[in-house]
Chain A
Amino acid sequence: MTDPIIEAHNLTVLYGRKPAIWNVDFKLPEKQVIGIMGPNGSGKSTLLKTIMGIIPPSTGYTKVYNQELDRVRDKISYVPQRQEIDWDFPASVWDIVAMGRFHKRGLFKRLTSEDNDIISDSLQKVNMLGYAKRQISQLSGGQQQRIFLARAIAQQGDLFLMDEPFAGVDIATEEMIIALLKEMKSQGKTLIIVHHDLHTAQSYFDHLVLMNTRLVACGKIADVFTDQVLTDTYGGKLTTISKISQELENKEFPIRHK
């Protein structure tokens, strides 16, 4: 593998005495769409937060672009889980997307007209420009996700870390996000996505990290999306896995959802 964009080494994260991530090692390649999957509570979100410096690791480290996080923050856009935010907050769509420019401009300076253009463009990309003045409390789940994505785009990073961008969004938004991700990949961006739906994994991702507190597998989707690995990852939840493995057997059927 040439130049890993993200590297985790001996990474352990504890919540109190309970491990959320246990001794994880991996390297992720550049310019790919990478999925992070695993059952609930398997440490996926914690992994993103540790990479972004939000939760400190108990042991081990992560590196981005083979450097300390603080030196490459400009290149990284983080999209938190939508549910973590109070959407009744008194702010407009524009206010939220503008946050994506705060870091570049500094917290004590006014945003310039260049920033405003970037904010407009970002909103345009997610089809939300018409909603710029809308209060965020009036948005649907899919629209909330879109403006989070717009904020990340406004940061103009090369690496995107997204925490469950497909959770609870409508089909139109999911398809729009997927189209956008493909476009971003073709522009040489790297996208790392925490994802839940096994059915869509094969069509969305080039590379996959499967984890359940420990790392189960990490590699090209064709190598790791196997019956054995999925059983190791999800353990007892057999019904889903047997469905998936059946689909895997019938290779002539595309795995894409309708």
Chain B
Amino acid sequence: MNDLYIIITACLVAINCAIVGSFLVMRKMVMIGDAISHAVLPGIFFAYLLSGSTSSLPILIGAAASGIFATILIEWFTQKARLQSDASIGVSYTLLFAIGIILISKFGENADIDQQCVLYGELEYVWLWLVPIGNHFFIPQQTLILLSLTLIIITGVMIGFKGLFITTFDPNFAISTGVAIGFWHYFLMGGVSLTTVVSFESVGAILVVAFLSGPPAIAYLLTENLKKMIILSCFFGILCAIIGFYTAKLFDVSIAGAISTIIGLVFTVVFIISTQKKSKIDVISY
């Protein structure tokens, strides 16, 4: 049963990350997920300071607020300072992460924040915090939060698909037809921020970035339709999560580490297969 909890949790993270990650990959801003997962630190600290507790909800809100603040900062550096977007991501999140580290190490001795946990997550222990559903059925708290987020993200993307599509493909054309691209940017960033914040608590920052970039990148190699790309990247995310879990069990290693490694390996294999296929097509067409 514990294994099942872990697998379900990992799969939900995979689905959330695959959906928002597909848009991030096409917008060339995947590393914003990495940025958010580090930039949440000051938010967590202030939430802890204000609420005086380490319970999930205030921390989650603080972290999400901090994540969205990071995206605003990044956008501001890019737009106003005309900095390259990767440079503004680098500047913003290292700044926020460093502030968080200083605050916590100076004032947060009692805070329940573990650096190890931030990087690698605690997927192995999700089953420790169970909440009852009905009388006989229990589900880990983390899984329940992730499941609600999955529903929110799927609904959001289904309703906002056209807006996200047009602003991702051709933002200038979108503006010319009167689309508020700022709204759609923060619509996506809100989703990314929530996904990252909720996910990294259970799987750690590294696996979040692996899930955000890997499965969409694999799907991108295989399809040329955005909707199919999103569905395929969910599929590959789930596949890698399951294979990764059993690999970790087999070799008795970190689950997050094993899943990240599997994602990398699957990408390599798919990349080699797809380049061989494409080179055949190229030979025929020229």
Residue of A nearest to B225 (CB): A90
CA distance A137 to B223 in the complex (A): 11
Residue of B nearest to A48 (CB): B176
| Contact A78–B173 (Cβ < 8 Å) | yes
Residue of A nearest to B281 (CB): A138
Number of A-B contacts (CB under 8 A): 79
Residue of A nearest to B223 (CB): A90
| Contact A53–B176 (Cβ < 8 Å) | yes
Provide the residues of chain B in CB contact with A80, threshold 8 Å: 170, 172-173, 176
The B interface is mostly helix, strand or loop, or mixed, namely helix
Q: Is A102 in the interface zone, CB < 8 Å from B?
A: yes
Task: Spot the interface stretch: A91-99, A173-181, A203-211.
Answer: A91-99
Interface residues of B (CB under 8 A from A): 26, 82, 159-160, 162-163, 165-166, 168-170, 172-173, 175-179, 220, 223-226, 228-229
| Contact B172–A16 (Cβ < 8 Å) | no
Provide the residues of chain A in CB contact with B163, threshold 8 Å: 107
Chain A residues 195-236 with CB under 8 Å of chain B are none
Specify which of B159, B160, B173 is in contact with A99 (CB 8 Å cutoff). Answer: B173
| Contact A135–B224 (Cβ < 8 Å) | yes
Known contacts: A16-B82, A90-B26, A90-B220. The answer to whether A96 contacts B176 by CB under 8 A is: no
Provide the residues of chain A in CB contact with B229, threshold 8 Å: 90
Q: Is A13 in the interface zone, CB < 8 Å from B?
A: no
Q: Is A255 in the interface zone, CB < 8 Å from B?
A: no
The tally of residues in A whose CB lies under 8 Å from a CB in B reads 30
| Contact B169–A96 (Cβ < 8 Å) | yes
Known contacts: A84-B172, A91-B169. The answer to whether A70 contacts B220 by CB under 8 A is: no
Residue of A nearest to B176 (CB): A78
Name the distance in Å between B19's Cβ and chain A's nearest Cβ: 14
CA distance A85 to B28 in the complex (A): 13
Mask of A143-160 contacts with B, CB within 8 angstroms, 1/0: 000000001000100000
Knowing that A90-B220, A103-B178, A108-B162 are A-B contacts, what are 17 other residue pairs whose CB atoms are under 8 Å apart, sorted by A's residue number?
Answer: A15-B82, A78-B172, A78-B176, A84-B172, A85-B169, A85-B170, A90-B224, A90-B226, A91-B224, A92-B224, A99-B169, A102-B166, A103-B177, A107-B160, A107-B162, A107-B163, A108-B159
Name the distance in Å between A5's Cβ and chain B's nearest Cβ: 16
CA distance A107 to B183 in the complex (A): 13
Q: Is A1 in the interface zone, CB < 8 Å from B?
A: no
CA distance A151 to B228 in the complex (A): 23
Residue of B nearest to A89 (CB): B169
Q: Is A54 in the interface zone, CB < 8 Å from B?
A: yes
CA distance A135 to B169 in the complex (A): 14
Provide the residues of chain B in CB contact with A132, threshold 8 Å: none
Q: Enumerate the 5 nearest inter-chain pairs by beta-carbon distance, A residue then B residue, closest first.
A: A78-B176, A103-B177, A135-B224, A52-B176, A107-B163
Chain A residues 77-91 with CB under 8 Å of chain B are 78, 80, 84-86, 89-91
Chain A CB within 10 Å, residue with most, of B163, B169, B228:
B169
Provide the residues of chain B in CB contact with A85, threshold 8 Å: 169-170
| Contact A54–B172 (Cβ < 8 Å) | yes
CA distance A96 to B229 in the complex (A): 16
| Contact A99–B224 (Cβ < 8 Å) | no
CA distance A81 to B173 in the complex (A): 10
CA distance A78 to B160 in the complex (A): 23
CA distance A70 to B180 in the complex (A): 12
Provide the residues of chain A in CB contact with B165, threshold 8 Å: 91, 95, 99
CA distance A33 to B86 in the complex (A): 41
